[in-house]
Amino acid sequence: MAKVFVSTVIGAPVGQVWPVVRDFNGLPAWTPFAAESRIEMGAPADQIGCVRNFSLKDGARLRERLLALSDYDFSMTYSILESPMGVEDYVATLALKPVTDGDRTYIEWTAEFRAPAGNDQELVTFIGQGVFHAALQALKQRFGG
């Protein structure tokens, strides 16, 4: 299994950052790569099992299922159902923790998946830098670093 881990500290309290990232349908509002998103079958965006269907600015389309959402732990876990990346058994978790020194937020985004043969490192780099890191940097700019 390939693994991705990206983390950063955001200069705002968890109580301000969590409402933005917990919206499973809200990727276009805070990431630089998502163009539009909808939750299939009109389900609520915080319903476990709901499926977000979103397009990237380059025109690619992905479908992801919400597996877990915790307002207590400030975390969400989701899987990819369909993606142009060709990954299988993809499960990712986005988790926030309060940093009491300065009332900031530690955020980490992890993923594990099976990649097409010989494509592991390329996908780890793309997901880690092109997706997770880019999104977290956008959050830092929004809230302060």
Distance between CA atoms of residues 111 and 77, nearest Å: 9
Write down the pTM of the prediction: 0.96
Percentage of the chain with pLDDT > 70?
99
116-137 burial string, b = 16+ CB within 10 Å, else e? eeeebeebbeebbeebbbebbe
- Residue ranges of the domains in the chain? 2-143
pLDDT per residue as tens digits for the range 106-145: 999 999 999 988 789 999 999 999 999 999 999 999 997 6
- Token output for 38: 């909808």
Q: Which CATH superfamily is domain 2-143 in?
A: START domain (3.30.530.20)
Q: With 90 as the cut, is the pLDDT of residue 43 above it?
A: yes
